[in-house]
Structure 1
């Protein structure tokens, strides 16, 4: 269910989730590129993706949280600017 602070997905205990994000850096004062992306679950870095200075990238990660959790994505541009997503809440039943 969507909300102002992210979406909620409900899964069963043995079900996994597939996280996928399309990343595109918007030029500001000249061209910028993507340095890295981190998938963060419950405040801990689950996986880090080196993006190698590309202007766009797609990242995909499968995970089985085992318990109710939240995920966010942190993206760092080559100039150090950062962006964060709203959380995705995964409710495990």
Structure 2
């Protein structure tokens, strides 16, 4: 491969990586903000195990979402690494 095609591939890889990263960050911000703060009064009408759902989403749901996003990020980045042949295997 030529030097220019390597640079083009690296730029494309970086663009896709940033798109994945920004998507994950937006989800990480929006979901807890919307469900944990804005919709909390509505969600508090639903009680699960003695706790209002709005409280649960703000406290535990945000943590579960963060852990799920970590796994999604790993899967998406592994696929991206394979696509651009920069995987570690």
Task: Verify same fold: TM over 0.5.
Answer: no
TM-score of the aligned structures, taking structure 2 as reference length: 0.25
Q: Which has the higher helix share?
A: 2
Could you say which structure has the larger radius of gyration? 2
TM-score of the aligned structures, taking structure 1 as reference length: 0.25
RCO greater where, 1 or 2, for CA within 8 Å and sep 6 or more? 1
Q: Which has the higher strand share?
A: 1
